[in-house]
Structures are given as C-alpha cells and as structure tokens.
Structure 1
C-alpha cells in the first residue's frame, strides 16, 4: 500500500503535534512492512534561532520511504519577513485570543491577524502544488491533517486528480475555534464542508471535537496516544516536585490553584517549603511567575524554561505529581492532550485543573482511571478540597516512604498506545480501499 501523509507537524520537528502521524506511520510500518510511506511537509529551518529537532522523533523517520520538503517560495519569504518585522504587534494580537473579554480594538487586531494567517494557508497551498507539478502521485491512500489547513487544500486537489485514492482528512484540533474573532470563525466554520467534502473519511481525536463535517460524511475517532517504546521507569522523587511541562494559555490555564494550595499547606504547618516545588518547563515562565505572585507563593516556583522532549521526559520521571491544565466550555470541550499521554507513560499521579463554566469535563469523569484527581474551577467548592487533600496525601506518603504510588486502570491506559491506534488506522485504510474496489 502506498500512503501519502501531508502534514506540517511531523518528525523531526520538535512539537507535541509532530508525534501523532510520526508514531502512526512508525507502527504501520512495523506491523506492515509492505507499506510504502511518503511524507509531504514544508521545509524547516533547524538550528540556532530556528526550529528545533526532536531526536526521539528523528529516529522514527526510518519508517518513511520518501520525505518531500516543499521549499519556501518568494511569497512565503516575504510573509515571514513581514511577520518578523511586526513581531510585537502579532504577539499583542495573539494574547487577546485567550482574554475573557477582549476590547474592540484588540478584537480588530485579532481579525486582521487571522486574515493574514489565512493568506499564509493559500501561499503554502500554492507553493506545494507547484512543488508537486512534476511528481508522480500514485498513492493508494492520502492522509492530510489539520492544523494548519493547507494539507487539506492540497489533499483536495490530489483527490480530484486521483479519485480512486482513499482520502483521510484528519483533525487534531477544530479549524473554527472558540478563540477566533467572529468573522474569522464564520470563515473557518465553512472550511470542512467546502474543502473536505470529497474525503472518504474524516478522523478526529475526540468524539465531541467540533469540525462541522458535511452531511452524511463518515467520521471516525482516532485518538492521540503514547509510544510504548518511549516508556521509562518511574524514579523515586528526591523532592516533592509538582511538575508542569508545556504551554500556558493565558487566563484559560490556571497553575494558580496549585500555588494557593502549596501556600495554604505551608501555613497550616503540614508541608515544609524546602521539600516542595512547582517546577515549570515551558516558554511562559513570566506567566507562571505572575500566577505564583498572585497567590503569594513565588518561593515555590522553579522555572526550567523550554526543554527538549527527552529532557521533559526525564523531569516527568522524577516528579512527585504531574500537573495538567485545560478548559471546558460550550465551544471547546476539555480532553486528554498530547501531554496527558506522555504523563500516562510515567505511572505518576496526575492532577488536572480545568477552567471554564461547563462542569463534569472528560478529565473529571475519567481521571480516576489514571489514578489522579481533577479540579474544576466552576465547581470550586466541591473539587478544591479534593485536590488539596490529594496533594497532601501524596506529600505525606512521600515523607513516609520516599515514593508516590497510584492505582489505575491499566487496560484503559493501554488503549492509548500508538501501536493499537496505528492498527486501527490501517484497518480503516484497508476497509475504504476494499469498498473502492467493489
């Protein structure tokens, strides 16, 4: 079977989004060596000041038969130069995305920023089609994955040229997001019906993920997961570290509740400050510090900055408790994220904090299967004592034994192995090919 995977986020690029199709491809080839996998992606600029490579993902590139990189054309170089010149204004506009009540001038900036980003999608599409002009597109299966959107635009065009190929249009995220400004949301909301109507099947990471699919379209859930080959043994914590590795999204994410409970436990005399830290690893150290200061608990913060994925794994291995954040609203439901799947490999306790006004999120319903605890901001009175009690219980266990333990549903965790997920995708490919032949 000849498979084309069109994705901007794929090995060796260091990004949690790169994991999904790198790992699915890896395990498809491992189980079905006859599969011939070609990757189509944009050209990256690795090195100082540029993008970073993930050495773990780089090893998995052995699964790829071909690796096509689309060089940057003149229009893309111009776009990137203009973005660099206006980096401050772009950052300011992006920050409004997660504001609870953006003011009108900021909203206008957001509309403009999203319109410019949509133009980038068109540039990426045009330069990719120019690159493919002299390529033989003899594929049995085409996989395109959002985001960004240009892989779907390219797959739509290839499907017209090769109608017998099976097209799987994949969504890691919704294109029309709750953070979009109103005009951009309406524009993005039409995208799937307009450009993915010819897809044989649409896949998404969660059943409740909103993609506004065409009427009658076949939609399958293909979750994200973890690579069992990357699992590392859990190490006893030398210190009672609450560890968060990843991105903070303004007011939508809340580490403040952890700083508050650490301060309260210290004031109650049941936690020793020199034994406990909240260790943050990511690119928003200033935001983490602001959250700590707001709770009068900056002494508990240790900022590691941005780490390579293997370094983040090592930090997770020696943690006492792993921290996860998300939000649950009518237009954006909380789910397990790529970070959660990484955490599953450690066998460590997980404390999940959910903001937003919709109670009983997926984490709240299922965190017990991971042996963890979930706090929901909209149910503060009910869930804060449970979170605080859980952290205190784990701290006391660590003081007594030097360990932190959990009891979890191992069958549930095993269901998120990319080995299993890849086989699900392979069966889907085979099924759709058989239907096309009949």
Structure 2
C-alpha cells in the first residue's frame, strides 16, 4: 500500500533547541512506521534563541526538507539589550521590578506583530507552498505553533485547497496562554488575536492540543479538537542511574519569575536550618536558563552553598542529568487558568523513573498524569506542611539507596505510541471528512 504524504510546516527544527522542536521532530521520526511519508517546511534563516546540534541525529537523511527565507524584526529587539533573547523565545519579564525596556518590548511584541514577530513569513510561505502543492500531491498538511503565525499559512492554503486536510497543532494555547494577559494589548489588538484564533479553530479539519484541558477548551470554541500529549523517546535514555554522592534535586529547562516556587526555597531553607545532615547532603541543581532574580534570591539564602547552576546543556546531556538526579522539579504558573499546561519535560522525567516534584494549580492535568503513573507528587503553592514531609521522605529514600519510584502506565506517553495515536486520528478524520 502506497504511503500517504503529509506536509509539516514548522518554525522550530534542528538545530533549534528546547522542547518546542521535539514534538514534530519525533512525530516525523515515527510517522513512516504508520504509513505516512513526511515532508518538512521550515525557514531558511531562522533566529533561534537556543541551539542544540545533538537533535540533528533524529533527522532522517531521507527526509525531504524545504526551506524559504524569513524576515524577522529582531534587530528592533536589539534596542532592548539582554531582553532580546527573551523576546525571541516568547518569554517576558513581568516581575515586580519590570524595566521600562521590558515594558516597551512587551507592548511592541503584542500590538505591532500579530499574532507574533514571525508573521512576515506568512505571505511568502503561502505563495511558495501554493505553487508547490499544485505540483505535488499531499493528503494532509500540518501547521504547528507557536509561533501561531504559522497557522495563518494553513488558513491561506485551505482557501486554495479546500479538500486538503489541515491539522493545526497547538503546542501552547493562543489567547489562553498564561502570559497573554501580560502582552499589554489594545482592545483592537486583542480583538484581532481572538478573531484569527477563531478562524483557525473553525477552518482546520483537526485541532491538536497537548493537554486534556486545552482540547476541551478548544472544543468549546468550536474546534474539532483532540489531545495528543508530548512524550518521551526511549532511544534518548542514557542508562546513567548511579547514586549521587549528594541528595540532588534538579530543575531542567527554563525557569522564569512567573513559575518561581518560592514555597520550595523557603521549605528547603527551613529543613536545612533544622537538619544539619540534610544541609550537608543536599544539592540544588539547575540545568538550563534561570531568571537572575531567582538566582539572587537563592544566593542570598541558606541554599547558596548547595546551589549548582550548570547552565544550558544539549538535550542528550540534559537527559543524563535527569538520570543522575534523585528528585526532578517541575513548576507551572499558579493561576487556575494554567491547569491545562503540561510541560514537555514531565514525559522525559517519567522515562527516568525518578520521583517528580511538581508545583502548579491545585487541580491540573499534571496532577492527573502523576497520579495515573505513580511518578511523584503535585503541590499547590500553599502546601508547605505536605511539601516538607515529601522532601524529607525522599531524602530518607536516598539515604536508604532507593534511586527510583515505582512508576506504572508510562508507555502510553512514548513518542512511537503517540505517533500511532496521531496516525489513527488522521486516518479516521480523513475518511469521515473525505
């Protein structure tokens, strides 16, 4: 049986680093196993905030990749100095001591570039792909955002090819993302964002969400939405499971002010003050990029001598750090509207078998996953007594030589199994809507 052809339009692709690139990198890796032949369309000259050359190893030499030039207005962001990388990455300094440069960059980002600063790629990409699709038959096209401007390419292609099945993949929500309210939008800009989002929801044949809550919210807005979470790839495991000389609590990834677990730092300080043995045995490790204000807070506390700030590492190196940690930390935004956010790192954390310590809204999709897999404990930002008991119990496990938790049902989150689920949805929807 001849493979079906699927075109994936994405901004992030190796050598881009970070979790955003890995979702479709892994889908593309496994789609041929399920009878789909992928082609990838990416920018020729992107401006990636993080680069990770190790991810190139997952790109098949037989994969057809199409590249076209993009113009991005980030020379404007250079005016804002060190905030430029945050501006590119969609991260914003919204703390109490926000500088005027940060305020201005956020206002420019939200109101001048709708839906985002990659919007100038839409018109040339649409024109190129309309010609390409007339010469090459495809069964389906995928747009994946953020940047959500990529979905506007899908809108243009759907006008030209109404019978082409369009899958709009939302790795993060658009107007419901936690930082949307911090974009300092005018009423006109907010209206335009919401109007474009609604057009995508109504026009795409399939909307994909990465969390159960997001899929439900998208359906309420009229989308034909399905949840396919992110996942882990068994081939990324390093096998490094030796016990550390220190009881190591690690955070892997980017940690900004809005997800700062202050309750954790205060609880750790309390335990260290009460327990000299814990103080001598404990290590707090950061692997990735941590907000300077958070680092300053920690360096001005009892945690200072326990801090190991490694900095950014490649994906494979970061996985090795996960494997050699004793507890893995994950944080989410505290407000209830963020309950549907499932950070991609949770699945790579799951693959290690190490206990996961999670913070976020009291009820959340992350809490559901941790409960189903028996992989750790989820706390709100007020659960200090329970948090202290959890940390002490994990420390006692480390002292006893217990290096992993008894997880269950995690294979449902393997990248290959998730790709199989994607294939089933594609097959069913293309039959129903043919």
Say yes or no: TM over 0.5. Answer: yes
Distance in 2 between the 1:169 and 1:220 partners?
11
Residues 288-437 of structure 1 mapped to structure 2, 5 A cutoff: 288-293=294-299, 295-354=301-360, 358-368=361-371, 369-377=373-381, 380=382, 383-401=383-401, 403-408=402-407, 410-411=408-409, 413-437=410-434
Distance (whole Å) between structure 2 residues aligned to residue 120 and residue 100 of structure 1: 25
Paired residue secondary structure (2:17): coil
- 2-structure distance, mates of 1:209, 1:63: 35
Secondary structure in structure 1 of the residue aligned to 2:213 = coil
Deviation of residue 121 (structure 1)?
Answer: 3.5
User: With structure 2 as the length reference, what TM-score do the two structures score?
Assistant: 0.86
TM-score by length of 1: 0.85
2:80/2:102 contact within 8 Å kept: no
8 Å Cα contact 1:171-1:205 kept in structure 2: yes
Q: Which position in structure 1 is the counterpart of 2:81?
A: 87
- With over 3 angstroms needed to count, the CA separation of the structure-2 counterparts of 1:245 and 1:160, relative to structure 1, is same
Pairwise CA distance, 1:255: 4.0
Distance 1:101 1:398 in 2: 39
Structure 1 residue 117 corresponds to structure 2 residue 110: no
Which of 219, 237, 243 is matched with 2:250 structurally? 243
4+ residue runs over 6 A deviation: 91-95, 100-106
Specify whether residues 163 and 311 from structure 1 end up closer, same or farther in structure 2 by C-alpha distance, changes over 3 A only.
same
* Residue 193 of structure 1 pairs with residue 198 of structure 2: yes
Within 5 Å, give how 1:28-107 maps onto structure 2: 28-32=31-35, 35-44=36-45, 52-55=51-54, 57-62=55-60, 65-72=63-70, 76=71, 79-88=73-82, 98-99=94-95
State the alpha-carbon separation in 1 of the partners of residues 223 and 79 from structure 2: 43
Give the aligned CA root-mean-square deviation in angstroms: 3.0
Aligned residue in 2 for 1:148:
147
Would the aligned equivalents of 2:7 and 2:141 in 1 still touch at CA under 8 Å? Answer: yes
Higher deviation after alignment, 8-17 or 256-265: 256-265
Q: CA deviation digits over 1:309-330, x for unaligned, max 9?
A: 1111111111111111112424
SS at match of 2:275: coil
**1:267 and 2:273 are equivalent in the alignment:** yes
1:27 paired to 2:30:
yes
Whole-Å separation in 1 of the counterparts to 2:355 and 2:86: 36
Unaligned runs of 5+ in 1: none
Question: How many residues align structurally?
Answer: 417
Report how far residue 209 of structure 1 moved: 1.8
Answer yes or no: is the 8 Å Cα contact 1:39–1:66 preserved in 2. Answer: yes
Tell me the distance in 1 between the aligned counterparts of 2:369 and 2:49: 39
Q: Distance in 2 between matches of 1:105 and 1:360?
A: 36
Match of 1:219 in 2: 225
Q: Secondary structure at the match of 1:246?
A: strand
Q: How far did 1:126 drift?
A: 1.9
Say whether residues 1:4 and 2:7 are aligned partners: yes
d(CA) in 2 for partners of 1:108 and 1:253?
22
Per the alignment, residue 164 of structure 2 pairs with 165
User: What's the CA shift for 1:152?
Assistant: 1.0
Query: 1:173-184 to 2 correspondence within 5 Å?
Result: 173-176=172-175, 177-180=177-180, 181-183=184-186, 184=189
Partner Cα distance (2:11, 2:423) in 1: 21
The unaligned stretches of length 5 or more in structure 2 are none
